[in-house]
A = this chain, B = another copy of it.
Amino acid sequence: MDTFPKAQEREALESVVIRFAGDSGDGMQLTGSQFTNTTALMGNDLATFPDFPAEIRAPAGTTYGVSGFQIHFAAHDIMTPGDEPDVLVAMNPAALKTNIGDLKERGLLIVNSGAFIKGNLKKAGYAENPLEDEAFLSQYRVIKLDIQAMTLAAVAEFELGTKNALRSKNMWTLGLVLWLFGRETKHTVAWLEQKFAKKPDIAKANVAALKAGHAYGETAELPSGIGAYEVPKAKLPAGTYRNITGNDALAWGLTAASKLSGLKLVLGSYPITPASSVLHALAKLKHFGVTTFQAEDEIAAVCAAVGASWGGALGITTTSGPGVALKGEAIGLAIMLELPLIVCDIQRGGPSTGMPTKTEQSDLLQAVYGRNGDAPMPVLAACTPGDCFFMAIEAARISVKYMTPVMLLTDGYLANGAEPWKIPAMADLEPFPVSFPTERPEGFHPYLRDPETLARPWAIPGTPGLEHRIGGLEKDFDSGNISYDPDNHHKMTKTRAAKVAGIAKDIPAAAPEVGETSGDLLVIGWGSTYGAITQAVRRARAAGKKVSQVHLRYINPLPPGLGELIAGFDKVIVPEMNNGMLSKILRSEFLVDAVGINKISGQPFKVSEIQKAIEENLA
C-alpha cells in the first residue's frame, strides 16, 4: 500500500505544470501518459502536450532526440497544458539543455545526474557539467539524483542485465513524481501488469522501480524548500470521463457518424504525420463495419473515398497539409459531382515538408481556396481534442445532407494532445439517417435538386432504374447531362456557391464564448487555440477589461450573425498559429480591420502571449 504524508502535511497547490523530458528512448511519453491517467482519476482537470522529435529513434543523447510530455493539472478547470512548467524532469543533459529555458523561476528541477557523463554532455553541447555549476543550479529548486543507479538497485533482483534494467528508470521517476503530488502507484501497477502480462519479469521490474521511486520520496530527505504537494480535486461537471486525444476522438466521431447516419464508413488514407493515427484507430474498428484502405498515395486515397461515397458509403480521407495539396484536383471533382466526402486535415508546420511533428494552423486558406475553378466547400474546425468527436459528426451531417465534400481541420496539437473528456452517450446524439432513392422519381436526373438544401439525390449504383452518368465536366442544370452552355455554367457555379452558403442557416449563430456581445475588444479564434484564448480572455475580464471571445468552428460558411457581433466591438484581434489567414477572411468578409496575432513556431500559444496581445490592443 502506498503511504502518504497526511493531507495537512502537504502543501496545497491550485495548479501545477510538469514537463517530463528525456531521450526518445527514455519512455517519456509513457511516463507522461501514466501520470496523466492517475491524475485524471484523482479528479483534477488537466491538459497535456506531448512534443516528440521528427526522428524515429534519434541517436541517444542528442538534443534533437529529446522527447517531452507536459501536463497541466489543477483544482479548477483549465484549458491548456500550461505556459511554463513548474516542474521539469530532465533525464539527460540534452533534455536539460533544450527545456531548462522554459522552467519557471524557482521551479522544481528533477534531474537524473547519472546521465551527466562526458559523452552525453558533449552531445548536448555542454562544455562543463551544469550540475556542478552552482550559479546555474541556484536559480531553481533542484532534486539531483542518480536515477539510473537507484533504478538498477531497485530491479537488481530480476537480473535483467543493465540495458534492460535501465529501461525501468522512467518508472522510478514516475514513482517519485507521483509521490510528490500525492498520487498512488496502483493504477500504473495495474497497467504495467496488464501490458507486460506475457513478460512477468519485465512487469515486476517496472513495478519495483515505480515503487522504489515512490518510496524514495516517502523516505528520503528532500532538499529544503521541496516538499510534498497536493492539488485538490477540481469541480467538474458530473459524468464519466476519459482522456482522449484529438485523433482518437476524430476516429471515434467518424465511426459514431457512420452509426448515426446508417452509412458504412470507408476510409481511404495514406500515412502522414500527424494524421496516421486516425487511420490506425479506424483500422482497429472493423467490428463497426469500418473499412480502411491504405492507398498508394494521397490522391488514390481521396479518390477511393469518393468512389465509396458514390457507392453509398460515408467516404472519408484523412491527411495533413502536403496531402491536401495533392488532393485538390480530386476534391474539386467531388465538388462537381456533388457527392459527400469528408477530408480531415490534421495540420502540421509548413510550407512543404516543413516541421512534420510540430503543430500549425497554416492550411486554412488552402482548405478554403486551394482548388482550381470556383470550388466552394464547407470548412469546419475542431477546437479541442474532444471536440474532434463532435465536429466529425457535424462534418458528416453537413456532407450527406448537402451532398458536398467537407473539410475538417484539426492540427498536431489537438491530434496528440489529450484532455479529460466527458463521455457523451450515443442516445444523446441526433441521428441523421440517410435514405437512398430506390424508385425512379418523375423526371429523375442526377442533378435534380432539393429546393431547400439544393442537394442532389444520392442515387447509388446497384439501384435498378436509376442508372446515370456523372463526371467532372459541367452539368446541365435541367438534365444533368454534359453542358458547355455559357448561361448554364454561370447558373451552376452560382448554385454550387449558394448551396454551400446556405449551410449557414443550419449551423449555430455566432455567439461569444466568453464575455458580452459588445465591448472594447473581440478576440476571434478558431481551432486548437481555443484553450489559450479562453484562458487569456477570462484573465483579462477578471482584470476588468471589456474583452470577449468568439471561437469559430465553422469557417465556410461563417456562422450567421458574426458580422453584427463584430460590429459591437471597437477592435478585433485574431490569434492564429499561421501568418494571418482567418484574419484575411474576416477582413474581406466584414471589412473589419482585424489584427492578426501570429505565432508560427510550431508551438501552441501560451496564455500569456495572448494576454499580452489583448493588453497591447486595448492600450
- By a beta-carbon cutoff of 8 Å, the part of chain A in contact with chain B is 53-54, 64, 320-322, 324-326, 328-329, 332-333, 335-337, 349-358, 360, 362-363, 365-366, 368-375, 471-474, 484, 486-487, 489-490, 493-494, 496-497, 578-579, 584-585, 587-589, 591-593, 599-603
Contact = CB atoms under 8 A, between A and B. Distances in A.
A189 to B, nearest CB: 36
B322 A351 contact: no
A328 B299 CA distance: 13
The 10 closest A-B pairs by CB, nearest first: A350-B373, A321-B372, A351-B373, A486-B601, A353-B472, A352-B472, A351-B375, A588-B588, A325-B328, A370-B370
Contacts of A487: 601
Contact of A328 (B336, B349, B360, B370): B370
Contact of A473 (B355, B591, B600): B355
Contact of A374 (B369, B484, B579): B579
A578 B372 CA distance: 11
A600 B490 contact: yes
Contacts of A474: 349, 354-355
Contact of A600 (B352, B494, B588, B601): B494
11 contacts: A329-B352, A332-B350, A336-B354, A355-B489, A358-B489, A368-B369, A487-B601, A490-B599, A494-B579, A497-B579, A584-B588
Nearest to A496: B351
A332 B600 CA distance: 17
A351 B325 contact: no
A471 to B, nearest CB: 7
B324 A326 contact: no
A592 B356 CA distance: 38
A599 B356 CA distance: 41
Contacts of A358: 484, 486, 489
A54 B472 CA distance: 14
A493 B426 CA distance: 43
- Most B CB within 10 A of own CB, among A351, A472, A486, A601: A351
A439 B122 CA distance: 33
B332 A329 contact: no
Contacts of A372: 320-322, 324-325, 350-352, 354, 362-363, 366
A487 to B, nearest CB: 6
A494 to B, nearest CB: 7
Contacts of A591: 587, 591-593
A597 to B, nearest CB: 13
Looking at A324, A335, A489, A578, the one whose CB has the most chain B CB atoms below 10 A away is A489
A484 B64 contact: yes
A185 to B, nearest CB: 35
Contacts of A320: 372
Contact of A601 (B64, B336, B490): B490
Nearest to A326: B329
A351 B371 contact: yes
A362 B591 CA distance: 23
Contacts of A326: 326, 328-329
Given A351-B332, A371-B325, A493 B366 contact: no
A362 to B, nearest CB: 5
Contacts of A349: 373, 474, 489
A375 B599 CA distance: 15
Nearest to A584: B588
B374 A350 contact: yes
Nearest to A484: B355
Most chain B Cβ neighbours within 10 Å, of A329, A369, A486? A329
A369 to B, nearest CB: 4
Given A325-B329, A355-B484, A587-B587, 6 more contacts: A329-B352, A349-B474, A352-B473, A353-B473, A366-B372, A369-B370
A365 B369 contact: yes
Contacts of A335: 351-352
A474 B601 CA distance: 11
B64 A603 contact: no
Contacts of A329: 322, 325-326, 352
A430 to B, nearest CB: 31
A602 B356 CA distance: 40
B355 A336 contact: no
A326 B376 CA distance: 18
A320 B603 CA distance: 37
A363 B372 CA distance: 5
A362 B336 contact: no
A373 B363 contact: yes
A53 B473 CA distance: 13
A368 B352 CA distance: 15
Contacts of A351: 332, 335-336, 371-375, 496
A355 B371 CA distance: 15
Contacts of A350: 332, 371-375
Interface centre among A372, A589, A600 (most CB of B within 10 A): A372
Contacts of A369: 365-366, 368-370
A320 to B, nearest CB: 8
A325 B321 contact: no
A58 to B, nearest CB: 11
A234 to B, nearest CB: 30
